[in-house]
């Protein structure tokens, strides 16, 4: 029988699990629709399940004049928060505390005269959120790029990999008199990546489970694929193809921060039943 090994840290991360539980609890208590600014998590199956419970994602908060709105674990834009306050909407703040730490470190740096650099992806909602709270007075870097300033302060997107943060920091070393770095990569991201890459060395094939629109899952997939060429990124068990398993005795499974246990279990069952 084929052996299936999962990473130890799998299932929803602390921040996403906290956000989902809180919003589910509020939906039950309030008995009214709760809107989320974008999907609460990057997992289409879970988003559907939440929709059935009256939790609906919207793209633009200005569509609402009243009602209850929940922030995602990535945080929201400052303008959105201002709109919610001005309209008197009921807010459920489920921003992950680790994401809030990025924001507070960035604000502290700016207040103390540092040019703020956010190491991360400028398109990611978390980075956009932090930048908005800085009044767009910050620079987003995803690779080495020297910047001239007297004092530079760095924070990182929580789901960034350590190598990219280090690249950014190294490139800034020669261009400033003072460089202050807050290591704000979330532990959950680092641990999952370390465990998955270690597992990839021991198995004949890896499955990375998570939404294709999830930044941490796509990064996890890329990191694992570099080690184990037979690595597949899937969102659900239906995507598994039997021909992938030819001559494979051991299969490793890892998941992104937004992939619930229930989906991982279905994937595991399908692999075992092939």
* Catalytic residue numbers, as ranges: 126
Binding residue (CB under 6 A) for ligand SF4 from 159, 217, 228, 231: 159
User: Residues near 108 by Cβ (< 8 Å), separated by ≥ 6?
Assistant: none
Interacting residue with ligand SF4 among 84, 96, 119, 140 (CB under 6 A): 96
**Binder among 156, 176, 189, 218 for ligand SF4 (CB under 6 A):** 189
* One character per residue 56-95, x = contact with ligand SF4 (rule: CB under 6 A): -----------------x----------------------
User: Are the beta carbons of 38 and 71 closer than 8 angstroms?
Assistant: no
How far is residue 117's CA from residue 179's CA, in Å, rounded to a whole number? 10
- Rounded Cα–Cα distance for residues 8 and 4 (Å): 13
When asked if residue 14 is in the footprint of ligand SF4 (CB under 6 A), the reply is yes
Q: Which stretch binds ligand SF4 (CB under 6 A): 14-22, 76-84, 163-171, 220-228?
A: 14-22
**Partners of 254 in beta bridges:** 208
Judge contact between 161 and 126, C-beta under 8 A.
no
Q: Which positions from 15 to 34 touch ligand SF4 by CB under 6 A, shown as an x/- string? A: xx------------------
Token pair of 76, please?
Answer: 């929201």
Cβ proximity of 141 and 124 under 8 Å: no
Q: Which of 46, 69, 99, 141 binds ligand SF4 (CB under 6 A)?
A: 99
CB of 20 to ligand SF4, least distance (A): 11
Q: How far apart are the C-alpha atoms of 119 and 133, rounded to whole Å? A: 16
**With CB under 6 A, what is the number of residues at the site for ligand SF4?**
15
């Amino acid at each position: 029988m084929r052996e299936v090994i999962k990473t130890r840290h799998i299932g929803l991360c602390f921040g996403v699990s906290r956000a989902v539980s809180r919003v589910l609890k509020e939906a039950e208590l309030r008995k009214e629709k709760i809107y989320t600014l974008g999907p609460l998590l990057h997992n289409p199956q879970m988003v559907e399940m939440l929709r059935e419970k009256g939790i609906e994602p919207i793209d633009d908060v200005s569509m609402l004049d009243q009602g209850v709105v929940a922030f995602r674990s990535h945080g929201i834009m400052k303008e959105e928060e201002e709109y919610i306050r001005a309209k008197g909407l009921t807010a459920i703040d489920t921003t992950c505390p680790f994401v809030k730490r990025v924001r507070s470190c960035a604000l502290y740096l700016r207040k103390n005269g540092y040019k703020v650099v956010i190491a991360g992806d400028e398109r990611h909602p978390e980075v956009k959120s932090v930048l908005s709270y800085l009044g767009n007075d910050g620079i987003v870097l995803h690779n080495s790029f020297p910047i001239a300033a007297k004092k530079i302060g760095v924070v990182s997107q929580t789901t960034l990999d350590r190598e990219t943060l280090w690249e950014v920091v190294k490139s800034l070393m020669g261009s400033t008199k003072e460089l202050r770095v807050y290591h704000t990569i979330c532990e959950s991201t680092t641990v999952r990546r370390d465990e998955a890459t270690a597992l990839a060395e021991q198995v004949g094939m890896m499955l990375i489970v998570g939404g294709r629109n999830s930044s941490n899952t796509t990064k996890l997939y890329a990191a694992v694929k570099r080690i184990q060429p037979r690595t597949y990124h899937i969102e659900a068990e239906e995507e598994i193809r039997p021909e992938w398993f030819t001559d494979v005795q051991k299969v490793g499974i890892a998941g992104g921060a937004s992939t619930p246990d229930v989906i991982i279990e279905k994937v595991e069952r399908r692999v075992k039943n092939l």
